[in-house]
Amino acid sequence: MNGLRNGKGKEYINHNIIYDGEYLMGKRNGKGKEYYYEENYEGYFTKTYYEGNFIDGEKNGNFSKYCEFEDDFVLVLECEFLNNKNNGKGKEYDLDGNIIFEGEYLNGMKNGKCKEYNNGNLLFDGEYINNMKTGKCKEYDYNNGKLIFEGEYFFGIE
């Protein structure tokens, strides 16, 4: 309409899909999937995508991130977004579906109360500010779940 994308569509770069969803007045608006191609630790490129609601071309609202793993896609993140950044409550998962982080984000960084896990075992219960452990916390032993540290961090330093 008026030379702008409107309705459902797909975008590609070098034959790789980068967006599949809805447009309004030339911008991503409504439900959609935004794809990324990232080089992993072995030098291979893997595909990830975010799925949720776009407003004026940016991620806004509840989003899920999926990562390609063994010819399938696995949920690795559920989070609220505002203006293309993680904002609000979120959860991160490993490739086996186990929760590894549960907490709050602000402007794309971990901020506020959170818990970290490994294979379902609680490892950290405390707070973050700008992606750094800060404030009162408790840490637990990976093997037996017993408390190993109770105290405070000051911007990542015990």
Q: Give the tens place of pLDDT for each residue, 46-74.
A: 789 999 999 999 999 999 999 988 889 99
Inter-residue contact 50 to 31 (CB < 8 Å): no
Give the per-residue pLDDT at 28: 95
Q: How far apart are CA 110 and CA 103, in angstroms?
A: 7
Among 6, 55, 15, which residue's Cα sits nearest to residue 35? 15
Contacts of 149 (CB under 8 A, 6+ apart): 137, 138, 139, 158
Q: What is the mean pLDDT of residues 115-135?
A: 94
- Among the residue ranges 6-20, 29-43, 96-110, the one predicted with the least confidence is 29-43
Helix (H), strand (E) counts: the chain: 0, 13
Q: Residue 48 corresponds to which tokens in the numbers above?
A: 């990830």
- Whether the CB-CB separation of 115 and 125 falls below 8 Å is answered with yes
- Give the torsion sign (CA, 109, 59, 61, 49): negative
Tokens of 4: 């702008």
Which pLDDT score is estimated for 155? 74
Q: What is the DSSP letter of 141?
A: -
- Run of H or E including 103: strand 99-106
User: Of the candidates 107, 152, 113, which has an alpha carbon nearest to the alpha carbon of residue 130?
Assistant: 107
Model confidence band, residue 103 (pLDDT cutoffs 50, 70, 90): very high
Bridge partner list, 15? none
The terminus-to-terminus CA distance of the chain in angstroms comes to 58
- Amino acid at the residue 73: F
